[in-house]
Amino acid sequence: MSRHSALETVGAGAALLVCAAFVASFAFGLGRAGSTPDAAEPGIQAVDIPVAAGRVEVLNGSGRAGMARAVTQRLRSAGFDVLFFGNAPASAGDSSTVIARSGNDAIARAVAGHLGITRITSEPDTDLHLDATVILGRDFQ
């Protein structure tokens, strides 16, 4: 056998081993794809975050600086998707309100419940691409 043929044989064998390792790794990965988070390793805690927690905006009408940012962080920690935060118009009023925007009042109720806001109204506006608007009034703690 020539030296060139021996190198080809060794190279082909190495390529075959790499392919076999790849196939085995892929097959092992497929077997684990059906495992559930509940079957996680000990010490790992599963966290329930709603899959579609809702798109929210937070507007500060409280007169206290930083409230919209603080509430945004609180909602994001709870799994809500806050797309915008800023100041409410001067006419926002004293009472905090959650406004249902998409017709899905369940999301507005979930946001209100998480923040302890009791006033919920429905003003659908699909142009906003939001599920809820939070207006923080002077009563917000």
Residue of higher predicted confidence among 34 and 13 = 13
Contact criterion met (CB below 8 Å) for 94 and 104: no
Residues 17 and 70 both lie in one domain: no
Residues 32 and 59 both lie in one domain: no
Could you read off the pLDDT of 2-15 as tens digits, one per residue?
555 554 665 555 55
CA dihedral 46, 110, 124, 128 (to 10 degrees): -50
Residue 4: predicted pLDDT:
54
For the domain that residue 101 is a member of, what is the CATH number?
3.30.70.2390
Residues 88 and 117 both lie in one domain: yes
Residue 119: predicted pLDDT:
95
User: Looking at the 3D structure of the chain, how many domains does it have?
Assistant: 2
Q: Find the domain containing 12 and state its range.
A: 3-39
Could you read off the pLDDT of 83-128 as tens digits, one per residue?
999 999 877 778 999 999 998 899 999 999 999 999 999 999 989 9
pTM tops 0.85:
no
Residues 90 and 34 both lie in one domain: no
Does the residue 131 lie in any domain?
A: yes
Residues 32 and 64 both lie in one domain: no
